[in-house]
Copies of this chain bind each other. A is one copy, B any other.
Amino acid sequence: MAQVTLAVDAMGGDAGLPVTVPAVAQLLQQDATVEVLMVGQPVPLAAALRDAGLAQHARVRVVPASDIVTMDDPVAVALRNKKDSSMRVAVNQLRDGQAQAVVSAGNTGALMAVSRFVLKTLPGIERPAICTAIPTRTGHCHMLDLGANVDSEAEHLLQFALMGAAVVRALDRIEAPRVALLNIGEEDIKGNDLIKQAAKLLQEHPALNYCGFIEGKGIFDGEADVVVCDGFVGNVALKTMEGTATMIGHMLRTEISSSWLKKVSGLLALPVLRGLKKRMDPERYNGASLLGLNGIVVKSHGGAGVSGFLAALEVAVREADRNVPALIGATLVNKSDGTA
């Protein structure tokens, strides 16, 4: 494994330092080669590193940044008024070759805008996209776009497909990832105009293993490695998954507390329920990639805990190790002759 240096926005997310620092401590412990630039306000950051026993760590370096992008900051504020934010300075480290990947739990819109402004997009990419792994019955798939773009055109969906396929080839070592377009199943309409046009482009592209349409319920069946959609639709789908899982958890608790018999039965079922909770744990799948940029930027959920932020750090390390942006670039350059 090549030497990887991560630039971590230490202040980002709902919690900031209490989450980012312990997660970095765990990463350093489990990965003997990774180096970390901790970007943030020097005083509280130094204190947090000291508390975590990282003050003198050989593979940790502090990069000072005076400001913080809050979760509610409008994009324009993050971009124009907070040029010394931990988020911006972390992305600058990547641009300047000091790090191979950035991880931030800061607000998505700001992170995308700052990354796009500082790093620029890869040649051939008009719009970066947000991509994450989604659990399926047989393992996982990658889905994009999850909210970076609305009102996508067919050509953008094609670019998302190529980027998603490159990620799966790199991370999952699947040579010809099965790419599906998210669509609806009603017979009379079979999708909107966008989907019909995109289907044609994906079908005809020589470098894609296009396997057709997939419905919302098919995402979890393991029949596709890459699920492509517009960011509006993808974001609604992702949030609906979260909402449904939360709702079922709520139903389970209501059910257990509904009678004495069920309270006892629920206690006896604890090993099963704990196991289920672990399987459903969104922290395991935390870490969405901002694809299509000149560099690796991984977004952690703002509310992620230590294990979730660690998962996002691991995504960044894997993508850096396999140089995902270069693979995406190669796919795009070669798309016309089908040799990607």
Contacts A215-B239, A269-B269: A184 and B147 contacting too (C-beta < 8 A)?
Answer: yes
Cα of A108 to Cα of B184 in the assembled complex, Å:
12
Q: Does A255 lie at the interface of the complex (its beta carbon under 8 Å from any beta carbon of B)?
A: yes
Q: Does A237 lie at the interface of the complex (its beta carbon under 8 Å from any beta carbon of B)?
A: yes
Q: How extensive is the interface on chain A, given as a class?
A: 35 or more
Q: Does A150 lie at the interface of the complex (its beta carbon under 8 Å from any beta carbon of B)?
A: yes
Cβ–Cβ contact B185 & A135, under 8 A? no
CB < 8 Å neighbour of A262 from B136, B231, B241, B275: B275
Which of A191, A239, A276 is most buried by chain B, counting CB atoms within 10 A of its CB?
A: A239
CB neighbours of A239 from chain B (8 A): 184-185, 215-218
Q: What string of 1s and 0s marks CB contacts (under 8 Å) between A221-234 and chain B? A: 10000000101110
CB neighbours of A104 from chain B (8 A): none
Q: Does A10 lie at the interface of the complex (its beta carbon under 8 Å from any beta carbon of B)?
A: no
Closest residue of B by beta carbon distance from A256: B272
Q: What string of 1s and 0s marks CB contacts (under 8 Å) between A71-100 and chain B? A: 011110000000000000000000000000
Shortest A197–chain B CB gap in Å is 12
CB < 8 Å neighbour of A192 from B151, B221, B254, B255: B151
Which of A73, A219, A272 is most buried by chain B, counting CB atoms within 10 A of its CB?
A: A272
Q: How many copies does the complex hold?
A: 2
Stretch at the interface among A16-24, A243-251, A317-325: A243-251
Q: Does A300 lie at the interface of the complex (its beta carbon under 8 Å from any beta carbon of B)?
A: no
Cβ–Cβ contact A243 & B217, under 8 A? yes
Contacts A242-B217, A269-B268: A113 and B247 contacting too (C-beta < 8 A)?
Answer: no
Shortest A75–chain B CB gap in Å is 4
Cβ–Cβ contact B217 & A246, under 8 A? yes
Contacts A236-B216, A251-B279: A187 and B265 contacting too (C-beta < 8 A)?
Answer: no
Q: Does A240 lie at the interface of the complex (its beta carbon under 8 Å from any beta carbon of B)?
A: yes
Q: Does A206 lie at the interface of the complex (its beta carbon under 8 Å from any beta carbon of B)?
A: no
Q: Does A107 lie at the interface of the complex (its beta carbon under 8 Å from any beta carbon of B)?
A: yes
Cα of A218 to Cα of B247 in the assembled complex, Å:
10
Cβ–Cβ contact B250 & A113, under 8 A? no
Q: Does A235 lie at the interface of the complex (its beta carbon under 8 Å from any beta carbon of B)?
A: yes
Cβ–Cβ contact A108 & B186, under 8 A? yes
Shortest A91–chain B CB gap in Å is 16
Cα of A217 to Cα of B301 in the assembled complex, Å:
14
Contacts A150-B184, A251-B279, A280-B248: A265 and B258 contacting too (C-beta < 8 A)?
Answer: no
10 contacts between A and B (CB under 8 A): A150-B184, A151-B192, A184-B235, A185-B235, A219-B240, A220-B244, A220-B247, A237-B237, A240-B244, A248-B276
A residues with a Cβ closer than 8 A to B are 72-75, 107-110, 112-113, 135-137, 147-151, 182, 184-189, 191-193, 195, 215-221, 229, 231-233, 235-248, 250-252, 254-256, 258, 261-262, 265-266, 268-273, 275-276, 279-280
**7 A-B pairs closest in CB distance:** A216-B239, A269-B269, A109-B188, A217-B243, A109-B187, A150-B192, A216-B240
